[in-house]
Amino acid sequence: MQRSSAARINAISRHITGEYRRKGQPSLPCNVFINHRGVDTKRNVAGLLYHHLHRLGLRPFLDSKSMKPGDKLFDKIDKAIRECKVGVAVFSPVYCDSYFCLHELSLMMESRKRVIPIFCDIKPSDLGVKNVGSCPVHEIDKFRRALEDARYTVGVTFDTSRGDWQEFLASVTDAVIKNLVEVESESMIRKNNYLHTSMIKKATFPEKTM
């Protein structure tokens, strides 16, 4: 698995690097955004997943690892979500108490990102908007829709006290890589279709010379 995973990651990296060089971008964006509740998972699930993906050559975003003092919280995180290819939502017992977690999740869903749910010590049916302060009604509705989408997305279930951590990391990594490959393939198909359509239009309606 490790050899095939490395080959797929290298192919994805080459494609993204090439795209950014052609566009003249100064640095590569993250390709995996890890959405989590720090008090529950920063020191175990989210942290281990970040290091595991990073060692494989991917560019995961984790707030405690990818931000520095002085960064604007929403600016940095929202930009990372919009630029990423795949999101990983790590649901935990107090996840839904956090405005920030729900904001990130809803933005991933609104941006139509591929989101892989990880249900850590919690069942999908337990997800629901709880105490998020004095949120406007429209934001609460967004959060509920995002959680509903997550509940009905195939994910990974893990018991942190009895589960096999090595098997868990391998399973999530495999899911991330498969989704990255699919997203990149779909992007290339759209690009090829656009180029094909443009060529047909030029052939059908050639530009008139003065």
**Residue 11 placed within a domain:** yes
Quick one: average pLDDT of 4-20? Answer: 53
Total count of domains within the chain: 1
The sign of the torsion formed by the CA atoms of 92, 154, 108, 28 equals positive
**Residue 44 placed within a domain:** yes
CB neighbour class for 137 (10 Å; exposed up to 12, middle 13-18, buried from 19):
exposed
**Residue 38 placed within a domain:** yes
Residue scoring higher pLDDT (1 or 95):
95
**Residue 196 placed within a domain:** yes
Q: What value does the mean pLDDT of the chain take?
A: 84
Determine contact, residues 126/100, Cβ cutoff 8 Å.
no
Q: Just list the catalytic residues.
A: 104
Of 126, 106, 83, 131, which is closest to residue 35 (Cα–Cα)? 106
Reported pTM: 0.79
Q: Which two tokens stand for residue 167?
A: 């098997």
How does pLDDT run across 136-188, given as a tens digit for each residue? 888 999 999 999 999 999 999 999 999 999 999 999 999 999 999 999 888 77
The parent domain of residue 48 ranges over 2-204
CATH of the domain at 34: 3.40.50.10140
Quick one: average pLDDT of 37-56? Answer: 90
CB neighbour class for 65 (10 Å; exposed up to 12, middle 13-18, buried from 19):
middle
The sign of the torsion formed by the CA atoms of 84, 45, 72, 95 equals positive
CA distance 69 to 72: 9
Determine contact, residues 69/59, Cβ cutoff 8 Å.
no
**Other CB atoms closer than 10 Å to residue 42's CB: what's the count?**
18
Determine contact, residues 77/104, Cβ cutoff 8 Å.
yes
**Residue 130 placed within a domain:** yes
**Residue 210 placed within a domain:** no
Say which residues have a Cβ less than 8 Å from residue 7's Cβ, sequence separation at least 6.
none
> Which of these ranges, 35-44, 60-69, 117-126, 171-180, has the smallest mean pLDDT?
35-44
Tell me: pLDDT of 17 over 50. Answer: no
**Residue 209 placed within a domain:** no
**Residue 124 placed within a domain:** yes
